[in-house]
Chains A and B, each alone.
Chain A
Amino acid sequence: MGNKLLEIKGLKVHYITEDGTVPAVDGIDMEIEEGETLGLVGETGAGKTTTALGIMNLVPDPPGKIVDGEIIFNGENLRTKSREAYRQIRGNKISMIFQDPMTSLNPVYTVFDQLTEVIKLHQKVGSGEALERAKEMLAKVGIPQERGEEYPHQFSGGMKQRVLIAIALACNPALLIADEPTTALDVTIQAQVLEVMKDLKKQFKMAMILITHDLGVVSEICEKVAIMYAGKIVEFADLESLFTNPSHPYTVGLFNSIPDPEEDVTELTPIKGLIPEPTELPPGCVFNPRCPDVMDICKGEFPETVELSPTHRVACYKYHKGIGGENK
């Protein structure tokens, strides 16, 4: 640990549509060390998936475009890579699993076919060897080998997600991006899949970006958390700091909206208002119309990021010297 695996600097991904430009990801910075798990948390439309697609260079173009920024993976800037070079990275060094396991497998091929495909694509091995490896991977995610001959429609959702995990990890990638891997599953299956992922992460010593809107999931497997809101990372911290000292008003709002099982609550405390229209973002801090601690300055420019501690950054004027309270 301690080695930076992925570093993103000022990444901007915009969708250019007839109705205007949508800054889906608007200048984000983050970094992940080898073997570390980063939780990327935010509401629907906050730009989490676009960030992931940006890393993979698979933003749908048109209308999407990576406008600016650097993606440094293993010391190399991925943005300067050719299409061909990028294909060698995908599935091999960086892998991804999607939200909906139901539709992420090709219905006309057996599970073995799809597992061996990625192995043969990236490693110079024969069919026999690839099949051996495929069997090994299935065993790792807890699916009996004989089911490898079956087609995706013969599997349940949780098993499909496990097959997808097996496919994503077949080439032993250094980084796995999991885009809401458990959202489409029911709660008990969610727990199983998370368990499998946690387990394999340790075995393979890979880093992971876990996209989710479930802070409970984050607390279980992440070491670092990035909170995203309307294309910006508003708070970036290690798990402990975030849960003990949530600093951005949005993060505080998120925690407040989780009901406390100890207390007898009749009403939830949501964050007021809705996430803004992506084409009509408010000027200044994007969160200002919903912020309980809003100040005049918040309507001017988006605040610079402030370091509360070496592992805790927040983008909010409340923590700017001489503006808000020095610290809460």
Chain B
Amino acid sequence: MAAKTSDQAVAMTTPAAKKKKRSQRAELWRRFKKSKTALIGLGLLALVLVTAIFANQIAPHPYDGMNLMVRRQPPSAEYLMGTDHMGRCVFSRVVYGTRISLVVGFFAVLLSAIAGGTIGAISGFYGDKVDNFIMRIIDVVLSIPPILLAIAIVSAFGGSLVNVMIAIAIGYTPRFARVVRGSVMTIKEDEFIDAARVLGASDYRIITKHIMPNALAPVIVQGTLFVAMAILQAAGLSFIGLGAQPPTPEWGAMLSTGQNYIRDAWWMSVFPGLAIAFTVLSLNLLGDGLRDALDPRLKT
């Protein structure tokens, strides 16, 4: 009997298993690439990333290089997106601005994902009183509109990109906490958690090793979408003068300056605006694609 069992097992590994031997990542990619919009999003985001990484090589002029002889010039071969009121190359500034927006968006979300993830995991895992206490605090924070919260924090601590990042992160922390709490609550009821406990694993180990990796999918999806929102928010804060300070080429700040000249130098505000739209669009498309790919109900 035992011999027969292992024979069968061996037989199972050979041809059929080879075909099945696809890692989860490969499986994810297969489902992800089914959606054209998701692929477009990924492509656009790749373009944005390349721009950010190679900003030094792509930008034809330094972002703060002023040339008062060529103020407010329309787009030309020399200045692809024209020049601003100080004679700086708008194209170069938009290119460098990519770096700032991506860094602010990404780190703000990373920060809030770590903080919110920890809070949410504790809340969801221990449940009951702990959960009630944490969730009420989170309800309070959530009742404040994120942009107002960010404005309050930045005006209290002074306008700088780092403060903008922290302010945005605080706004998104409760949102992540909720997402993580929800999935932790579902996962902790799964039998493999009982199995881990039966094998003598501690709470900490169960949360970090067994629950978190399984709760990651919704966090990644939310994260991608939140990066887009965080970029918008950072641009918004800079627009009202609370974020990046001149001469930092922040898209929001550029929009804000550009609006004063919109009648005779539309390029000063249109191009940074397009850059924001483009980046946010790419992230949203990617996020939607990831959501569909990670959704277990759509598994085929």
Contact = CB atoms under 8 A, between A and B. Distances in A.
Interface of A: 56, 58, 62, 87-92, 95-98, 100, 103-109, 117-118, 121-122, 142-144, 146-147, 150-151, 154, 156, 159, 164, 167-168, 191-192, 195-196, 199
A154 B20 contact: yes
Interface string B2-23: 1011100110110001001101
A183 B219 CA distance: 36
Contact of B17 (A56, A103, A147, A164): A147
B145 interface: no
Contacts of A100: 191
Contacts of A164: 195
A87 B200 contact: yes
Given A90-B198, A121-B201, A159-B9, A142 B210 contact: no
Contacts of A147: 9, 13, 17
A196 to B, nearest CB: 7
A102 to B, nearest CB: 8
A144 B199 contact: no
Interface of B: 1-2, 4-6, 9-10, 12-13, 17, 20-21, 23-24, 128, 190-192, 194-202, 205, 209-210, 213-214
Nearest to B202: A87
Nearest to B205: A121
Given A108-B213, A151-B24, A199 B2 contact: yes
B199 A103 contact: no
A127 to B, nearest CB: 15
Contacts, number: 98
Contact of A108 (B24, B128, B201): B24
Given A91-B201, A150-B17, A150-B21, 6 more contacts: A103-B190, A144-B6, A146-B13, A147-B17, A195-B2, A196-B2
A90 B197 contact: yes
Contact of A118 (B1, B13, B200, B213): B200
B22 to A, nearest CB: 9
Contacts of A98: 191, 194-195, 198
A104 B9 CA distance: 20
A240 to B, nearest CB: 24
B199 A95 contact: yes
A104 B200 contact: no
Contacts of B128: 62
A91 B202 CA distance: 12
Contacts of A108: 24, 213-214
A142 B17 contact: no
Contacts of A103: 190-192
Nearest to B14: A144
Contact of A142 (B9, B190, B199): B9
A58 B190 CA distance: 14
Contacts of B5: 142, 192, 195-196
The winner among B4, B196, B210 for most chain A CB atoms within 10 A is B196
Given A103-B190, A121-B199, A192 B13 contact: no
Contacts of B6: 142-144
The winner among B17, B195, B210, B214 for most chain A CB atoms within 10 A is B195
Given A105-B195, A118-B199, A143 B210 contact: no
Contacts of A142: 2, 5-6, 9
A259 B202 CA distance: 47
A106 B216 CA distance: 14
A95 B192 contact: no
The winner among A56, A95, A154 for most chain B CB atoms within 10 A is A154
Nearest to A194: B1
Given A87-B200, A96-B198, A142-B5, A154 B21 contact: yes
Nearest to B7: A142
Contacts of B13: 144, 146-147
Contacts of A89: 200
A88 B21 contact: no
The winner among A88, A106, A109, A117 for most chain B CB atoms within 10 A is A106
B214 A107 contact: yes
B117 to A, nearest CB: 16
Contacts of B210: 106
16 contacts: A87-B200, A88-B200, A89-B200, A90-B199, A91-B200, A100-B191, A103-B190, A107-B214, A108-B24, A118-B199, A121-B201, A144-B9, A147-B13, A147-B17, A154-B21, A195-B2
Given A142-B6, A196-B5, A106 B20 contact: no
A195 B8 CA distance: 15
Contacts of B214: 106-108
A97 B190 CA distance: 14
The winner among B5, B202, B210 for most chain A CB atoms within 10 A is B5
A192 B199 contact: no
Contacts of A196: 2, 5
The winner among A100, A147, A168 for most chain B CB atoms within 10 A is A147
Contacts of A90: 197-200
A58 B200 contact: no
Contacts of A156: 12
A143 B199 contact: no
B260 to A, nearest CB: 53
B199 A104 contact: no
B202 A56 contact: no
A83 to B, nearest CB: 9
Contacts of B205: 121
